[in-house]
Amino acid sequence: MASAIGTLKWLANILIQFWDHDPGATTAKLVSPDGGTTIRYLDMSLYSRFAVAAFPTVIGGGGLTKLEIVASSDAAFTAPVVVKDSGVIAADAAGDWVVLECTAEEIVQLGDDLQYVAGRLTQATATDEAAVMYLAQPRFAHKDLTPATTIA
């Protein structure tokens, strides 16, 4: 019998977001479901830690070849700064994944005006896609950061 207690303790106190990444290119692209038109980012003024995890979902070639955390002074990411870099990888099969994390302090060391953060992926072919997860720890504790269910 499943528990009748409907509480969210741990997950309600951290932010978790899942994104479909469909870059349609072999160049480095910010996490986006539509080739960079809709950028998935976080405002780090609200968080003290950030992590991004990615795994290939559609592998038309070599899959995921690089993951980066980038920061920017504007939400359009006109001049992104690399915070962390996986280096060249070959996440080219089901079950492969890569994870990077950073702190707000690491971002500030690169520029005190860098407020926004995002994942940036490079895929081997324009048909490769990935699933991406963002995790963030809030600067100040509060509840209900991650909803139990999100249906588009």
pLDDT of residue 7 exceeding 70? no
Is residue 152 in some structural domain? no
Q: What is the pLDDT of residues 19-58, one digit of tens each?
A: 999 999 999 999 999 888 899 999 999 999 999 999 999 9
Is residue 131 in some structural domain? yes
Is residue 61 in some structural domain? yes
Domain that holds residue 107: 21-138
CATH number, residue 56: 2.60.120
Q: For residue 124, what is the DSSP state?
A: S
pLDDT of residue 9 exceeding 70? no
Is residue 72 in some structural domain? yes
Token digits for 40? Answer: 């998935």
Is residue 36 in some structural domain? yes
CA distance linking residue 96 with residue 36, whole number of Å: 24
Q: What is the pLDDT of residues 111-131, one digit of tens each?
A: 999 999 999 999 999 999 999
Is residue 9 in some structural domain? no
Instruction: Give pTM, 2 decimals.
Output: 0.88
Is residue 151 in some structural domain? no
Q: What's the structural domain count of the chain?
A: 1
Q: For residue 95, what is the DSSP state?
A: T
* Average confidence score pLDDT of the chain: 90
Element (H, E) at 109: helix 104-110
Q: Bridge-partner residues for 33, per DSSP?
A: none
